[in-house]
Structure formats: structure tokens, C-alpha cells
Amino acid sequence: MANPVQPATEAEVLFSRRGSAAVVSLNRPKALNSLNLSMVRALDEILDRCAADPEISCVIIRGEGERGLCAGGDIRAIHQAGRASDPEVTRFWREEMPFNYRISRYEKPYVALMDGIVMGGGVGISAHGSHRIVTERTKLAMPETGIGYVPDVGATWLLPRAPGEAGTWMGLTGDVVDGADAIHAGLADSFVPSEKLDDLVAAIGQLPGDSEAEAVQAVIDAFAVSGEGGTLARNRDVIDRTFAHDTVEEILAALSRETGGFAARTLETLSKRSPTSLKLTLKLLRLGRDSSSLVECLEREFTAACELLKHHDFYEGVRAAVIDKDRNPRWQPASPAEVTEADLAPYLAADHPVLFADHRL
């Protein structure tokens, strides 16, 4: 069947058909399939076309190459635009975040193959889907506090709904978790061995074009296996005990009172994160816990992101992690105790640009 979709940047987003299934592939393997603005626009166009095609039963999204689905947004480009005071620096987020919301409400089954690296924006294009599949190779994280940023793409809606304080741990540490952990945290649904993914796609493609989500899930269930418990499940007691506090200082103090290697490693990890990002992330996660909608959280994340572009830590974090790669960021302020409530207030200000003003909810 002819390809009904002509993406804006065809080389970076590929489209194919496997029977009734529309298969969308992110095609920047050398950049770990990191998203840029043209890719977001191409994906949005593809969803338009697939929604209108009665012969398409579902959309399946995957990443080209062997390393992962998507390592996030192209933060190097945002860093450069911010440094250059480009007035369009927030354009990527303005289109990416509404696209994340669209996935959460998509008219047809949306199947995300979360194989390999799934980080940041990669979580945004997968964890909001109706069918989320991990493998033994899944490495999932929201690593934003390590670059002076905060979890976005709706993470402050998703993470607070994880069991106990698993989402708080993930949001603050930014540490990588495996497929079993992703399921435990409610960011994925099914575990399928990576060697079976192509067979799974073919089997889904055999469904009729008008198949409902239950039929797609039945096919997935036929390939799914039980994954072993991961870091989050094994350490749930200590995570819940130490991350239940509402200030970063209390969390650090609680971790310091614990015995065992997990708490010590977590404490060391947090010591390397941006203090401002840690405090702002915790506040966003707690606000997200009480929020009534994904849109509310996305708006709040966008407000924080716009403000972060005005300050030191985002540029320093990206420099240390992506540009110079010295892994030695010098945060300002340098400790959580130096970050005050007054410092955090602008990141949550009411008079901010509205993200969804031009989008139909």
C-alpha cells in the first residue's frame, strides 16, 4: 500500500505499513533519536493522517538503530538558541508538550516500543500512549536535574502517580531504571523480549482496521512475559521512607540516617544534581500530585522551563553534560540551603506564557 504520509523531514521520521498497523520510526540513531522541532511536526502530521484513515488500526512508534527509542529533546539546540537570545527558543516546547497531550488522548491505539534508551522527551512520546511496551534492554530516566532543568513532557503528572515515592525518587535522582521498574512506576504496561518485537508488530498488523484497544492489548498479551523486579521494587521501603518529605533538606537528612548501599548511592547522586532543579522539581511533583489534569501540569512545566532559560544552571548543566562533557557542573547556588522560596517563586509565576492557548483540548 502506498505511503499516505509525507513527513516534514522524511529522513528523520520514517513511516511504513505492516498490514493495518502504521509504524512510525524515529530516524536519528547517531543522536539516539533525539527529537527536534521538525520531527515533532512530522509526528503530529502523521497522527493526523492515521486518525483519518479507516484502514489503520493503530500507530506503533519505535526508534531506528540498536540503542533506543529516544534519548530526549535536542537540548544542545535549545542551549544554543537560549545563549543567542533567540525569541523562538521556546518554540520546541510549545509544540512538543501539546503533542504529548495529544498522545494521551489519541483516537486510535498508540503502541510505544520502549526498547533501549527512553529518556526525557522519549518518555513524553511513549508513556502517555495507550499501550507501552518495555524490553530487557529498556533504560528509562528523567535525567533533567543533572542538567539544571526539571522533568517536563508531563512527567510531573505521571511520576506522582507512581506507587509510594517511586516517582519522587525518579524525578529527583534522574537515575536510569529498567523495564520492570518502568512497569512498577506506571510508565509502561507490558514486558516483551526485544527479539519478539518485529513479530509483535506483524501480529498487530493482522488486526482489522477498526480494531479497538482491547484487541491490540490481546495481541500484546500473547507476546508478553513477566519481568523480574527492579531497583524500585527492591528498595521500595527505603524510597518511601526517605522521599516522603516535602523539602529536599529533609530528604537528604533522611537518606543520611539510613544504612545500606542504596541510600548512600542515592545521597551521592543527589549531591551532584542542581540544587535549584532539585527544589523546583520536588515542588512541581508535589503540585502535580494534587493537580486535576495533565494540561495543568504541562502548563506549569512550561512556565518553569521558560524561567530556567534565564538562569545559570541550565546552560552550565548542558555545557558539562553535552558540550564539554567534563561532567563537572558548577551550580549556582551550590547547595539546597542557599535556594530560597523567593528564588523559586518566578519559576511558578502566574503571569507566564500560556502553552495551550492555541490548541483545542
Residue type, 238: V
Has 144 been annotated as catalytic?
yes
Has 73 been annotated as catalytic?
yes
Peptide bond into 143 cis (omega under 30): no
The answer to whether residues 143 and 274 touch, using CB atoms and an 8 Å cutoff, is: no
148: left (phi over 0), alpha (psi -120 to 50) or beta: left
- DSSP string of 25-89, one letter each residue: EE--GGGTT-B-HHHHHHHHHHHHHHHH-TT--EEEEEESSSSEEE--B-HHHHHHHHHTT-TTT
- DSSP string of 116-152, one letter each residue: BEEETHHHHTTTTSSEEEE-TT-EEE--GGGGT----
In order of 32, 78, 113, 179, the CA distances from 220 in angstroms are: 26, 37, 11, 15
- Taken in order 141, 131, 226, 18, is the CA torsion positive or negative? negative
Strand-pairing partners, residue 59, are 22, 110
Nearest to 298 by CA among 186, 183, 158, 187: 158
Beta strands 131-134 and 190-191 are parallel
Strand-pairing partners, residue 73, are 35
Q: Which residue of the set 12, 96, 144, 307 is catalytic? A: 144
Phi and psi at residue 50, in whole multiples of 5°?
-65, -40
Q: Which residue of the set 73, 122, 146, 205 is catalytic? A: 73
In order of 89, 111, 229, 306, the CA distances from 226 in angstroms are: 43, 19, 9, 41
The answer to whether residues 173 and 230 touch, using CB atoms and an 8 Å cutoff, is: no
Q: How far apart are CA 85 and CA 310, in angstroms?
A: 10
Q: Which residue of the set 152, 181, 313, 316 is catalytic? A: 152
Has 296 been annotated as catalytic?
no
Catalytic positions = 73, 121, 144, 152
